[in-house]
Amino acid sequence: MKTKEHKIPEATIKRLSTYVNYLGRLGTDSNPVISSEILGESCQVSPAQIRKDLSYFGEFGVRGVGYDTKKLEAEIKDILGINHNWPTTVVGVGKLGQALLNFDFFRNHGFRIITAFDSDPNKIGTEAANGVTIQSISNIEKCVREEKISIGIITTPVAAAQDVTDKLVDGGIKGILNFAPIKVKVPETVTLRNVSITSELDNLAYLLTQKKR
Amino acid sequence: MKTKEHKIPEATIKRLSTYVNYLGRLGTDSNPVISSEILGESCQVSPAQIRKDLSYFGEFGVRGVGYDTKKLEAEIKDILGINHNWPTTVVGVGKLGQALLNFDFFRNHGFRIITAFDSDPNKIGTEAANGVTIQSISNIEKCVREEKISIGIITTPVAAAQDVTDKLVDGGIKGILNFAPIKVKVPETVTLRNVSITSELDNLAYLLTQKKR
DNA sequence: GTTATGCTGTGATAGTTATCACATTGTTGC
DNA sequence: GCAACAATGTGATAACTATCACAGCATAAC
């Protein structure tokens, strides 16, 4: 992979994620090769867009032929870095936290959940769905440091989100995926992504309202 | 609200959602008025961006003063259409589905969940967390039509997503929020939004990988 | 070997979105 | 009533992103 020095649009990264997802399913033995046109149909992206997205990172296809399905999948995984194995923790073991603890694809996307935290005394000490023991929020900093946890996933209520973030940061966390509908603050050294389900809801509401007029 | 005939950027809608979220919390009695600068600090958006976003829909502030906090909140809610009360269903009552059934903010964002569907015989007939009875997937079309359900939220596995989508569409659904990591196909008359948690994971993985280099 | 074919890779172009700078206008104090 | 002030609203500009059209290159056919 030869990464070029251009700045990559975030939309490109999002689409690469889609491509790799479909490549995993399309890449049967009967489809060893795939063209940007066919992949584009599945992903609902124009062929030119796919080629442009890939061109930021190098040349992966064969002109006149197309892309080796399995090889392209591996290349994109390499670009995205989902072949890593980051020690991960989930903070907030409500329904959403439990859902995430159960998601198989965490493992397939480079994350290994090794601990979970909650503030509810009834939950602390019990085992979460995938065999991980739930610990007290007050242990976060110590545990993150000792277990060298890289990624924190926040699924607490809004009120706790910033406090929990600070504890993760103090422990030396590298990245945070925040599901609480608040923009938590982190130092520049920490990578942060906010996932806002409420904003998706609002967006849908907006689109529907528009259509009615 | 005077809607102008420009096309509104999707990013603007996403930010409006953030604004309304913060306005609800910032708008105490001691803060009856707020400036774009102060709101921008909380939302981590530039003041100019906020004013531009609002200008697509009209004039809501007072020059030299700022915005009436409560009034602006109401105006944005009106723009987004989150003051409606759409009958909503959740299809797929796994952990994620349960998490969504429990989310308070559904109600606060214009959605009223009145039914839930699942294919698991052990779940059918039982009551989901918020008092909604879980029905069989095979009832979707009939139920959507009879109960005049407007919104479908899909939290099934990938394999079932398109089938369930078709059933919702046949029943006359108006909008779909899809959490399955596949781009389901719907006719143009149906409004669709895909929420891809996997793509958020991939994006975080990418950012972390970049930082390491 | 030569030509025809087909799909990639990419520079140029068009379109979209964010930023900037300032004109505008309501408010306050005298 | 007038001047000074403060924060909005917006046209102009810059930055970014997607689309297009075709050159480039590997393959296949003859």
Nearest residue of B to residue A159 by CA position?
B25
Helix (H) / strand (E) containing A22: helix A10-26
Query: What pLDDT, in 10s, does the model give residues A54-103?
Result: 999 999 999 999 999 999 999 999 999 999 999 999 999 998 999 999 87
Contact of B193 with A207, CB cutoff 8 Å: yes
Q: 3-class secondary structure for B198-209? A: HHHHHHHHHHHH
Question: Any CB–CB contact under 8 A between B16 and chain A?
Answer: yes
Q: In angstroms, how far is D17 C1' from B85 CA?
A: 36
Is any atom of strand D within 7 angstroms of residue B13's beta carbon?
Answer: no
Contact (CB<8Å) A98/B103:
no
Same domain, B26 and B59: yes
What is the pLDDT at residue A104?
A: 72
Residues B45-49, mean pLDDT to the nearest whole number: 97
> HSE-up of B110 (CA within 13 Å, CB side)?
25
What is the pLDDT at residue A29?
A: 66
pLDDT > 80? residue A168: yes
Cα-only R_g, chain B: 20
What is the pLDDT at residue A103?
A: 78
pLDDT band of residue A26 (cuts 50, 70, 90) is: confident
Same domain, B25 and B70: yes
Any idea what the CATH number is for the domain that residue B72 is in?
1.10.10.10
What is the pLDDT at residue A62?
A: 95
Same domain, A19 and A76: yes
Q: Is residue B206 part of a domain?
A: no
Domain boundary (A53, A80, A107) is at A80
Question: Closest nucleotide to A40's CA, by C1' atom?
Answer: C7
**Amino acid whose CA is nearest the C1' of D17:** A9
Same domain, B75 and B92: no
Q: How far apart are CA B133 and CA B152, in angstroms?
A: 16
Enter the tokens of residue B184.
Answer: 């389901």
Rounded mean pLDDT of chain A? 92
Rounded mean pLDDT of chain B? 92
Q: How many domains does chain A have?
A: 2
Same domain, B96 and B56: no
What is the pLDDT at residue B23?
A: 94
Q: Is residue B209 part of a domain?
A: no
Contact of A205 with B82, CB cutoff 8 Å: yes
Nearest residue of B to residue A99 by CA position?
B95
pLDDT > 60? residue B5: no
Give the bases of strand C that a protein CB approaches within 7 Å. Answer: 5-11, 16-21, 24-27
For chain A, the helix, strand and coil percentages under 3-state DSSP, each to the nearest 5: 45, 15, 35
Q: Is residue A209 part of a domain?
A: no
Q: Is residue B3 part of a domain?
A: no
pLDDT > 90? residue A27: no
Domain boundary (B19, B52, B80) is at B80
Query: What pLDDT, in 10s, does the model give residues A99-146?
Result: 999 877 787 888 999 999 999 999 999 998 778 999 999 999 999 999
Question: Which residue among B111, B203, B208 places its CB closest to the CB of A17?
Answer: B203
Nearest residue of A to residue B85 by CA position?
A205
Same domain, A123 and A54: no
Contact (CB<8Å) B42/A202:
no
- Where in the sequence is the domain holding A54, given as residue range(s)? 10-80
Pairing of strands A33-34, A67-68: antiparallel
Pairing of strands A33-34, A134-136: unpaired
What is the pLDDT at residue B2?
A: 43
Same domain, B76 and B96: no
Q: What DSSP line would sit under A96-161, residue for residue? A: HHHHHHH-THHHHTTEEEEEEEES-TTTTTSBPTTSPBEEEGGGHHHHHHHTT--EEEE-S-HHHH
Residues B131-141, mean pLDDT to the nearest whole number: 95
Domain boundary (A22, A56, A80) is at A80
Size of interface A-B (CB pairs under 8 A): 177
* Cβ within 8 Å of residue A109, ≥6 positions away: A82, B198, B201, B202, B205
Question: Any CB–CB contact under 8 A between A14 and chain B?
Answer: yes
Same domain, B145 and B91: yes
Contact (CB<8Å) A14/B203:
yes
Backbone angles phi, psi at B197, to 5 degrees: -70, -35
Same domain, B117 and B70: no
Q: Is residue A210 part of a domain?
A: no
Same domain, B38 and B106: no
Same domain, A107 and A90: yes
What is the pLDDT at residue A67?
A: 97
Q: Is residue B4 part of a domain?
A: no
Nearest residue of A to residue B9 by CA position?
A203
Q: Is residue B104 part of a domain?
A: yes
pLDDT band of residue A2 (cuts 50, 70, 90) is: very low
Q: Is residue A97 part of a domain?
A: yes
pLDDT > 70? residue B78: yes
Q: In angstroms, how far is C16 C1' from A109 CA?
A: 32
Contact (CB<8Å) B177/A205:
no
Question: Which residue among A181, A191, A202 places its CB closest to the CB of B208?
Answer: A191
Same domain, A117 and A186: yes
Question: Closest nucleotide to A10's CA, by C1' atom?
Answer: D17
Any idea what the CATH number is for the domain that residue A102 is in?
3.40.50.720
> HSE-up of A140 (CA within 13 Å, CB side)?
27
Q: Taking the C-alpha atoms of B133, B135, B139 and B145 in order, what is their torsion angle to the nearest 10 degrees?
A: 20
